[in-house]
């Protein structure tokens, strides 16, 4: 009787073990099926990356072609028009009345604006092509920008306070341009009869650094937070504030080339804070 009980007990244990084994086999099959799906997804993602890389190469070639068009095909006829206008003005200025001279001046101003737009487009198309990262002291870089803007800072009586800054791998010339654009805008869009005050901060974040340029200027309505980073978008007339509406577009493109993002926090008449991030980039030899 005892042996029969032991046999039944062993049989029960064996049955349980078989059930467990079947369950484990089923789990292995499920894991194998999931692995097959994951591998297919990985293959798809790699194909998509290769596709995006190919599209990027094509886009860069298009930008190179655009650069040639902007620097030659567009500028050449504009120079021709400008030259003929100069000749016309020199030869016939004495016989022109005030209205005609006013028209000539308007044409000259339009030519200058067009030249500036073409140059801005050309500069914009060249951004993001830099391949030489440099280990840069961001404080020294900002000090150089402030020195370059010395006349504008003194004329506006602006006060700029720069806090602790990191050393980073960046595209030096382009990041300098970002700080120059943001500081220039902070001074340009100041309140009347109010001394411009600008503070520049940095903060370590998980995958890089965050920079902030704060001012006490006229501020920006929230409905324009996205629009201001689009090329040639202006919120004010050129008569009131000089510029071509491309500075922030350049900043956005430069920051994106550093695998970061740029955004603004602001309220109308309450100042603005422009934030941007820079990822931890590695210099490859």
What digits encode the pLDDT tens for the residues 57-93? 676 666 667 666 666 677 778 888 888 888 888 888 8
Helical ranges in the chain per DSSP H: 2-68, 75-92, 98-126, 138-148, 150-156, 172-188, 247-257
**Position 63 in a domain:** no
Domain co-membership, 265 together with 152: yes
Domain co-membership, 115 together with 204: no
**Position 163 in a domain:** yes
pLDDT at 205 over 70: yes
Distances 195 to 150, 158, 243 between C-alpha atoms, Å? 16, 6, 21
**Residue with the two structure tokens 């654009």:** 181
The tens digit of pLDDT for each residue in 10-55 reads 777 787 777 888 888 888 888 888 888 888 888 888 888 778 777 7
**Position 4 in a domain:** no
Domain of residue 166, CATH code: 3.30.565.10
Domain co-membership, 92 together with 225: no
**Position 36 in a domain:** no
Domain co-membership, 149 together with 169: yes
**Position 48 in a domain:** no
256 phi and psi angles, rounded to 5 deg: -65, -30
**Position 257 in a domain:** yes
Domain co-membership, 233 together with 254: yes
Domain co-membership, 120 together with 142: no
Domain co-membership, 244 together with 109: no
Are 202 and 211 contacting, i.e. CB atoms less than 8 angstroms apart?
yes
**Position 67 in a domain:** no
**Position 263 in a domain:** yes
Mean pLDDT of 154-177: 93
Domain co-membership, 153 together with 241: yes
Domain co-membership, 206 together with 236: yes
Q: Residue 104 is part of which domain span?
A: 74-126
Give pTM, 2 decimals. Answer: 0.63
């Amino acid at each position: 009787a005892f042996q029969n009980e032991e046999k039944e007990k062993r049989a029960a244990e064996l049955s349980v073990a078989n059930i467990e084994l079947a369950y484990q086999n089923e789990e292995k099959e499920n894991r194998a099926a999931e692995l097959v799906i994951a591998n297919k997804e990985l293959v798809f993602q790699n194909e998509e990356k290769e596709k995006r890389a190919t599209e990027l190469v094509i886009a860069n070639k298009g930008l190179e072609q655009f650069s040639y068009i902007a620097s030659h095909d567009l500028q050449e006829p504009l120079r021709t028009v400008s030259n003929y206008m100069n000749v016309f003005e020199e030869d016939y200025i004495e016989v022109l009345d005030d209205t005609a001279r006013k028209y000539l001046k308007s044409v000259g101003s339009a030519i200058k604006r067009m030249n500036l737009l073409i140059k801005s487009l050309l500069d914009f198309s060249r951004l993001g092509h830099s391949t030489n990262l440099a280990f840069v002291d961001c404080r020294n870089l900002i000090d150089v920008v402030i020195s370059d803007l010395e006349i504008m800072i003194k004329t506006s009586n602006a006060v700029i306070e720069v806090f602790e800054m990191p050393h980073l791998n960046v595209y030096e010339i382009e990041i300098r341009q970002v700080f120059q654009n943001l500081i220039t805008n902070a001074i340009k869009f100041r309140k009347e009869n109010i001394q411009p005050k600008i503070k520049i901060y940095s903060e370590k974040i998980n995958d890089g650094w965050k920079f902030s340029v704060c001012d006490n200027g006229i501020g920006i309505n929230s409905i324009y937070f996205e629009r201001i980073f689009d090329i040639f978008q202006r919120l004010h007339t050129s008569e009131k504030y000089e510029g071509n509406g491309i500075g922030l577009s350049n900043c956005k493109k430069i920051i994106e080339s550093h695998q970061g993002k740029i955004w603004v926090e602001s309220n109308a008449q309450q100042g603005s804070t422009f934030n941007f991030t820079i990822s931890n980039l590695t210099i490859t030899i």
